[in-house]
Structure 1
Amino acid sequence: MDIRQLNYFLTIADMQNYSHAAKILYVSQPALKQNISKMEEELHTQLFIYNNHHLQLTKTGQELYDRAKPLVKEFNQLIDDFKNQDRTVKTPLYIGVTFLTMLEYMDQISRFIRRNQQVDVHFIQEGSIKLQHDLVDGKIDVALLSFPQFEQDIIIDPLADESEGYTAYVVAPKSHPLAGYKELSFKDLKNSNIVSLSTNFVLGEFVKQNCEKYNYSQQVILVHDDFELILHSLNQLDAISILPKELMTNSTVKDLAWIPLTDSKNTYRHGIAYRKKLSQNASVIRQFIDHIKN
């Protein structure tokens, strides 16, 4: 005997008629009669008798009815509760990430999602400067990005581990004249074609400012937001780029030399950023910040 059979039994008892019960349950009358016969055979007792053309419960049938009614009701409520869990309005959380912070903090973010299923997490991947603008504009709630800070209406808390961040390297084809150097400064890039990240990225802004400082702006032949596209273009364009060293192990592009950049501030720490005035989902934002910090 199962819940389905009990539900059929209760409906027949309430309707006192196979025909009416069949319409409610969308089951044929023969199927209902067969169901009752199986129950009676299993329980070794008669559950219904006919009285004035209506089905009437026997004494045993009434006892089963009284005990089965709350069981079926509780089971149906349990099913409804599970179904309604999926319909519960979740609190949205828009998290900004860079390519590198997504890689570095994916385990922590995944644990947060698993532990907080009432939160509807959305990811926006951009450069750190663009993420700071998006925070101010309210497009995201919190961001894992790199220093320095460009926007005044946000707070960036440094993350505890000083090793968390990235280091700027010059990347060049192995056939490039600069490829054999053990280290380079920005001045050494004179006369080299440069492929740069856009100013959505901290390194893109760094390249732009230094090109203006050293009058190298005419050497920039391509600006893009895609790391892989930039790396693939270097051999074809006989160009160099300035990128995070941490990309070296995550890139499929080979035959490139990665050379330390000696200019000051070529190491950029990661931080977690949020608006000074948090939005309506402030408690969820705080919860996420505490989770990442701890």
Structure 2
Amino acid sequence: MDIKTLRYFVEVVRQQSFTRAAQNLYVTQPTISKMLRNLEEELACTLLIRDGRKLLLTDTGRVVYERGIAILAEFRQLEAELSDIHHLDKGMLRLGIPPMVGMLMAGPIGLYRQRYPGVELKISEFGSLTVQQAVMNGELDMAITALPLDEEQAFSILPLFSHPLYVLAPRSGEWVQRDYIEPKALAAHPLLLYNDDFALSRQLMQLFATQGINPSVAVRSGQWDFLAAMVQAGVGIAILPEPVCRKLDKTILRWIPLRSPLRWELGMIWRESVYLSHSAQAWLRCCKEFWPASAGQ
């Protein structure tokens, strides 16, 4: 069994598709199919079973898949350590960023590219919960995510910044006179929230539960500008961090403080007790320089 075959198998399982796996790995579908047949022949067992459009793992297949994820993560660590021998004149840093954080990243990314033009930044945009899992699996080197994290997660953390939450509403009707909004008042209005894989969405649902609020969720999305457009269209009201609200048109929308201790706190995470490449260490230095408050953490 070679590392390439193992990578093909893991990607097919992740994508639940030979075609999508081939596209992601830049090979042909027959190549992947042949490699997986060879792997099954080598192991003398069946790894995958087709069930309509689904690909189901056999018991043996699940063992190979779970061990394969760990082996590939270790192999990527080896590649990173060997690449670092050549310092920062080349290489890659795989960084995860939730979509609504992207607008805040131009500064540190620009600083990083100016100093280390030979390092390629590969950025993946997913919700906080998804990027956390990707870091844990070794698919990403580092990620920005919402804090706090679950205590059992083995991450090193660099807190970056913290912002209050606002209720985004039309600049009309009852919203014009509001100076703040209590969480319980949100129960009377359709809400526009982020998708379930966003930590902020989970935190808001926990807030509602502790206060006995049964929210009426009208729309979920992973894009803050879409949620703002839905507010403008009169579909409902949204709960967004202050930096997002500041990007919007205040002549037609109003953002009102949410009276709650819940804040939008973000930090950089990476796997605890693993090798941190020079390119990743350089990224941390740029973050600390761009957000000086984080330097003392």
Counterparts in 2 of 1:259 and 1:129: CA distance versus 1, 3 Å? same
8 Å contact kept, 2:141–2:270: yes
Matched, 1:275 2:276: no
- Write the distance in 2 (CA, Å) between the matches of 1:197 and 1:254: 24
Q: Tell me by how many angstroms 1:152 deviates.
A: 0.8
Matched, 1:142 2:142: yes
| SS of alignment partner, residue 140 of structure 1 | coil
Q: Which aligned pairs between 1:100-119 and structure 2 lie closer than 5 A?
A: 101-119=101-119
Judged with a 3 Å threshold, the aligned counterparts in structure 2 of structure 1 residues 253 and 224 are, in CA distance, closer, same or farther, namely farther
Contact preservation (8 Å) 2:241, 2:264:
no
Residues 246 and 253 from structure 1, CA distance in 2 versus in 1: closer, same or farther, beyond 3 angstroms?
Answer: same
Residue among 281, 285, 290 paired with 2:280:
285
Change (3 A) 1:176 1:227: farther
Distance in 1, Cα, partners of 2:99 & 2:215: 28
Q: Which residue of structure 2 lines up, in the alignment, with residue 201 of structure 1?
A: 198
Given candidates 184, 189, 198, the residue that maps to 1:187 is 184
Aligned equivalents of 2:130 and 2:174: distance in 1? 34
TM-score calculated relative to the size of structure 1: 0.60
Matched, 1:98 2:95: no
Tell me the SS of whatever aligns to 1:190.
Answer: helix
Q: 1:220 to 1:214 in 2, by over 3 A?
A: farther
Shift, 1:118, TM fit: 2.9
8 Å Cα contact 1:95/1:124 also seen in 2: yes
Tell me the alpha carbon deviations over residues 102-156 of structure 1, each in whole angstroms, 9 at most, x when there is no partner. 3334222222122223312111123333322221122211123332213612121
Query: How far is the alpha carbon of 1:100 from its aligned partner?
Result: 5.0
Asked if the contact 1:197/1:224 (under 8 Å) is kept, the reply is yes
Q: How far did residue 287 of structure 1 move?
A: 2.2
The one-letter amino acid of 1:293's match is K
Q: Give deviations 1:17-46, integer Å, cap 9, x for gaps.
A: xxxxxxxxxxxxxxxxxxxxxxxxxxxxxx
Unaligned runs of 5+ in 1: 1-88
Which of these residues, 248, 272, 276, is aligned with residue 245 of structure 2? Answer: 248
Whole-angstrom distance in 1 between the partners of 2:278 and 2:208: 43
Change in 2 beyond 3 A, CA 1:218/1:106: closer
Name structure 2 gaps, 5 residues minimum. Answer: 1-88, 290-297
Greater Cα radius of gyration, structure 1 or 2: 1
Post-superposition offset of 1:229: 0.9
CA 1:179 to 1:156, structure 2 compared with 1: closer, same or farther past 3 Å? farther
Distance 1:108 1:200, change over 3 A: same
1:236 matched to 2:233? The reply is: yes
Asked if 2 retains the 8 angstrom alpha-carbon contact of 1:203 and 1:242, the reply is no
Query: How many pairs are equivalent?
Result: 201
Distance 2:251 2:149 in 1: 33
Following superposition, the deviation at residue 236 of structure 1 comes to 2.9
Structure 2 residue aligned with 1:222: 219
Q: Do the aligned partners of 1:232 and 1:253 also contact (CA within 8 Å) in 2?
A: no
User: For 1:272, what is the secondary structure of its paired residue?
Assistant: strand
1:175 CA drift (Å): 2.9
Q: Secondary structure at the match of 1:250?
A: coil
**Which residue of the partner structure matches residue 54 of structure 1?**
none
Secondary structure in 1 aligned to 2:179? coil
CA distance in 2 between counterparts of 1:240 and 1:199 reads 17
TM-score, with normalisation over the residues of structure 2? 0.60
**Offset at residue 284 of structure 1 (A):** 1.9
Q: Distance in 2 between matches of 1:218 and 1:259?
A: 18
Closer/same/farther in 2, CA of residues 175 and 291 from structure 1, 3 Å limit? closer
Q: Provide the rounded CA distance (Å) in 1 between the counterparts of 2:90 and 2:143.
A: 20
The residue that corresponds to 2:33 in the other structure is: none
What letter is aligned with 2:193?
S
Instruction: Encode CA deviations 1:249-293: one digit per residue, 9 max, x unaligned.
Output: 32358512210011112x2333221111435x6222122212322
Amino-acid identity (%):
20
Number of the residue aligned with 1:258: 255
Change (3 A) 1:153 1:215: same
**Candidates 167, 170, 187, aligned match of 2:167:** 170
